[in-house]
Structure 1
Amino acid sequence: MSASSDAALSAPAARRDSPWRQPAPVWATAFAAVVAFMGIGLVDPILPSIAEGLDATPSQVSLLFTSYFLVTAVAMLLTGFVSSRIGGKATLLLGLTLVVVFAALSGASGSVGELVAFRAGWGLGNALFIATALAVIVGSAAGGMESAIVLYEAALGVGIASGPLVGALLGNWHWRAPFFGTATLMAVGFLCIAAWLKATPRPERRIRLADPLRALAHGGLSTTAFTALFYNFAFFTVLAFTPFLLGMSPYGIGAVFFGWGLMVAVSSVFGAPALQRRIGSAAVLHTALALLGALMLVVAFSGQAGIVVAVVLTGVPIGLNNTVFTAAAMEVSDAPRPVASAGYNFVRWMGGALAPFIATKLGEEVSPALPYIVGAACCAVAMGILVLRRRHLAPLKELDAEQGPAAAPATA
C-alpha cells in the first residue's frame, strides 16, 4: 500500500480522536489558557465600578482594554523571537510570571493611570503566554491540528465565559478583588505547568524579530489578518462598551456576559468544526460576519431587553469566527506556524486595541447607538476583504476538502 493510501486511511482515525483525551501537560497548559482568557472579560462587570471608584470617565476606563491589547499586539512580534531562544516552557512561565505580578499590581492601583499602565504589563505577559500556549498545545495534543485548535478555542470560550462571572462575584465585593483573584489563579497555572510540562525542544532555526512581518507579505495570511482586524473591532465594541450601555449591577452585567461567553464556547467548539466541514471555512466566515453585523444593528436600535438578547447571541458568530480565523491563520500560509501566528495576532489584536476607546468615545460624545453601527460597518468591510481577496484563500478550500464532510469519518 502506498504512503498516500496510508495517510488517507489514517486521517479519518485522527479525526475520530477525541480532543478531550489529552496528556496532563496539555491540560495544565489549557487550564492556564482559561485563566489567561478570563482576564479579557474579567473587567467587564466592574467597568462602571472602576470608573466610580477611581473617579474616571467611561472612555478613560476603556483604556484598560486599549493598553492591554495594544501591548499584546506589539508583543506578539516578540513571542517567536523569545521562545526560539529560551524554549516554549520557559516562555510560558515567563509570561505567567508577568501576569501574576501585573494583575496583583492592578489590584493595588491608586489611580486610573496606574491601572492602565499595569494592564499594559499584563498584556505583555499574556502575549508571551497565549501565542506560546497555542504552539505548545498543537505540538503536544493527541488527535492532530483539529483537536488542538478545538481544545485551544474551548479554553478561550471557557475563559471568556467565566471571566465576567468571576469579575461579577468578586467585583461586587470590591472592584480590586478580581485582579487579586486572577493573580492567584495564574500562580496555580504556573505551578501546574512547571510541574507537568516537560521542557520543549528549541527550534532548529531561531526566529528573527522581522519574520512575522515578512510572513504578512503572503497574500493568504495578510487577507486573514486584516479581515480579523475589522472583525475584532466589532467584537471588542461589544465587550468594552456594552457594560456602560446596560446600566446594571456587576451581577447583572456578569450574567449577561456569562451567557454571551457560553455562546462563544459552544459555537467555537461544536459549531465551527461541523460548519467548516459542511460549507467550508470561507462560507462560515461570511455567515458569521453577516450575523454579527446584523446583531450589532439590533443592539443599536433596541431597548434594554432587546440589547440583552442580542448581546448574548453575538457570542454565536464570535465563537465561529474565533475558531475559523485561528485555523486559517495556522494553515493558509507557508510560514512556520509560530511565525504565522505572531504576524496574524499582531494585526488582529490592533482591532482589540482601537475599538474600546473609539467606541466608548463615540458612545459618550455622539450617540450610544453609533459604536454598534460602526461595528456593523466593520463586519461589512471584513466581508468585502474576503470577497476581493478570495483567490488568496485557496489553501482553505484544499484544507476543507481534506477534512471532508461531517459524515466522512463514519463512511471511511
Structure 2
Amino acid sequence: MSSHGVAVSPFKQPRAVWAVAFACVVSFMGIGLVDPILASLRDKLHATPAQVELLFTSYLVVTAVAMLVTGWVSSRIGAKRTLITGLALIVVFAALAGASGGIDGIVGFRAGWGLGNALFIATSLAVIVGSASGGFAGAIVLYETALGIGIAAGPLLGGVLGNVSWRAPFFGVSVLMGIALIATVFLLPKTPTPERKESITEPIKALRHRALATTSVVGLLYNWGFFTLLGYSPFLMGISSPIKLGLVFCAWGVLVAIFAVFGAPWLKARFGTATTLYGNFVLMAADLAVIGIWPDNPTTVIVAVIVAGIFIGVNNTLVTTAVMSIAPVERPVASATYGFVRFIGGGLAPFVAGKLVEHFNAHVPFVLGAGTVLVAAIVLSSVHRALAAADRGEIAQPERTELDRVEHAEELQVAAGIGGES
C-alpha cells in the first residue's frame, strides 16, 4: 500500500526488476522443461525410468544443498554478481547437457545447472523483494507470477523443441538464459556488498526456530507429492509425442500461474492462510490418490495432473509467503533454509517414485505422495497461531533458545548500563 492507502500494482516495476523477473521465468522453465522429453530420453538413451528421474534428483538436490551457501556468497560479492554467476553457470551447464552423449552426462550437467539455479533463485527473490514497488506482498506476487509463467512455458518449450531433438530443449534454455544474463548485466544497477557477511552455517542454525523448521518440513512434504506428480506422471499418460505432453503440462502450468497470482490472494483474504492451506493440502492429496488408484487410465491421469495446477498454484504462493512472514530470521536466511529443506523432498521424490514402480507398481508412489501431503497439513497445524498472527499483520517474534536468552539478557544489561562497556 502507498502512504495514501492506494494499492500499488505489483506489475508496475522498474526495468531492473523486470530483467530479474524475466530471468526467473527462464529459470523456472527448467523445472518442467524435461517433462515432455522424459519418454524420449528413456527410449533413445536406453535408460530406465529411475535413471531418467535422476534428471530431477541431481538438479533439485544440488539446488537444495547449494541453497546453504547462497547467502554466504551473496554477502561477500553482492547480489548482482551472485545473480550473474548463477545465470552464467546455467548457460554453460544447460548447453553441456544438450551436447551430452548419454544419460549419465545429462544427469551430471543437470547437477551443475542446479548449482547455478540455487545461486540465482535465492538471490533473485531477495532482489525482487528489495527492489519491487508494491511492498513485500506485491514482490511475492510478481515472483510467483514469474514462477507460474516459467512452469507453464517450460513444458511447452520442451515439447516444441523436443519434437525436433531431445537436445534442443537444453540448448534453448541456454540461449534464453544467455539473454537473461545480458539483461541482468545491463539493466540491474550495481548492488552494494552487504555490510554484514553471512556465516555459512546460518541457514542450518535457523532451523532451531520452530516456526521456520516446521514450515520448511511442510514444504518438504508438499514438494514430495508435487514432484512425484511432476516427475513420474508423464510415464502414465500413454503419450509419445513431446508436443502433446508439453501441451498437457502447459495447461497444468497455466492453472499454477492463475491460482498463484489471483486465486491464492483471494482465498487468503476470505479464509486466512492456514485454513486455505489445510483445504488445499487435502484436495491435492485426493488428486494424487486418484492417480494412485487409476494409474493405468491415461485420461484420468491427464485430467488429475492438469487439475493439480490449481492446488499447486495456491500452495506455492501461500507457503512461500507464510515462511517469509513468520520466520524469525532475516529473509535471505529464511529463503535459503526453506529452499534447502523443501528441494530435498522435491529432488528425492521422482527417483524414489521410479524405484517404487520398479519394485512394486505405479500405485505406490502416488499413494505415498498423497500421504505426505496429508501429513503436511497436520504438521502445518502446529504453527496455526503464528500464521494467524502473520495474517493480522503482527510481527513474528524469534523463539529463543537458551543461548538466545543469554545473549538477549546481555543486550538488556548493556542497554540498561548494568553490564558491558559504558
* Range class of TM-score, shorter chain: over 0.9
Q: Pick from 217, 220, 224: which aligns with 2:211?
A: 220
Match of 1:140 in 2: 131
**Alpha carbons 2:238, 2:298 under 8 Å: kept:** no
Match of 2:280 in 1: 288
**Alpha carbons 1:42, 1:166 under 8 Å: kept:** yes
Q: Deviations over 1:291-330 (max 9, x none)?
A: 1100111122232222111110001111111111111111
Give the C-alpha shift of residue 379 in structure 1. 0.8
Q: Pick from 181, 189, 194: which aligns with 2:172?
A: 181
1:10 equivalenced with 2:10 (yes/no): no
In structure 1, give the amino acid aligned to 2:309: G
1:385 equivalenced with 2:379 (yes/no): yes
**Alpha carbons 1:44, 1:253 under 8 Å: kept:** yes
Aligned equivalents of 2:129 and 2:85: distance in 1? Answer: 20
1:256 equivalenced with 2:285 (yes/no): no
Unaligned runs of 5+ in 1: 1-6, 404-412
Give the C-alpha shift of residue 368 in structure 1. 1.2
Total equivalences in the alignment: 391
1:337 equivalenced with 2:328 (yes/no): no
Aligned residues: percent identity?
A: 53
**Alpha carbons 2:324, 2:331 under 8 Å: kept:** yes
Structure 2 counterparts to residues 83-162 of structure 1, below 5 A: 83-162=74-153
Partner secondary structure for residue 170 of structure 1: helix
Match of 1:353 in 2: 347
**Alpha carbons 2:33, 2:155 under 8 Å: kept:** yes
Task: Spell out structure 1 runs of 4+ moving beyond 6 A.
Answer: none
Q: RMSD in angstroms over aligned alpha carbons?
A: 1.3
1:30 equivalenced with 2:24 (yes/no): no
In structure 2, give the amino acid aligned to 1:27: W
1:265 equivalenced with 2:257 (yes/no): yes
- Structure (1 or 2) with the larger CA radius of gyration: 2
Give the C-alpha shift of residue 123 in structure 1. 0.1
In structure 2, give the amino acid aligned to 1:181: G
Give the C-alpha shift of residue 365 in structure 1. 2.8
**Alpha carbons 1:167, 1:178 under 8 Å: kept:** yes
Give the C-alpha shift of residue 11 in structure 1. 8.1
Aligned equivalents of 1:371 and 1:263: distance in 2? Answer: 24
**Alpha carbons 1:216, 1:344 under 8 Å: kept:** no
Q: Deviations over 1:192-221 (max 9, x none)?
A: 010100011222211111001111111110
Q: Deviations over 1:337-382 (max 9, x none)?
A: 0011101111010111110100111123311121110110001111
In structure 1, give the amino acid aligned to 2:290: V
Partner secondary structure for residue 314 of structure 1: helix
Aligned equivalents of 1:109 and 1:357: distance in 2? Answer: 21
Match of 2:220 in 1: 229
Give the C-alpha shift of residue 182 in structure 1. 0.3
Aligned equivalents of 2:356 and 2:244: distance in 1? Answer: 24
Give the C-alpha shift of residue 272 in structure 1. 0.7
Match of 1:274 in 2: 266
Unaligned runs of 5+ in 2: 395-422
Match of 1:311 in 2: 305
Partner secondary structure for residue 208 of structure 2: coil
Partner secondary structure for residue 346 of structure 1: helix
Give the C-alpha shift of residue 38 in structure 1. 0.1
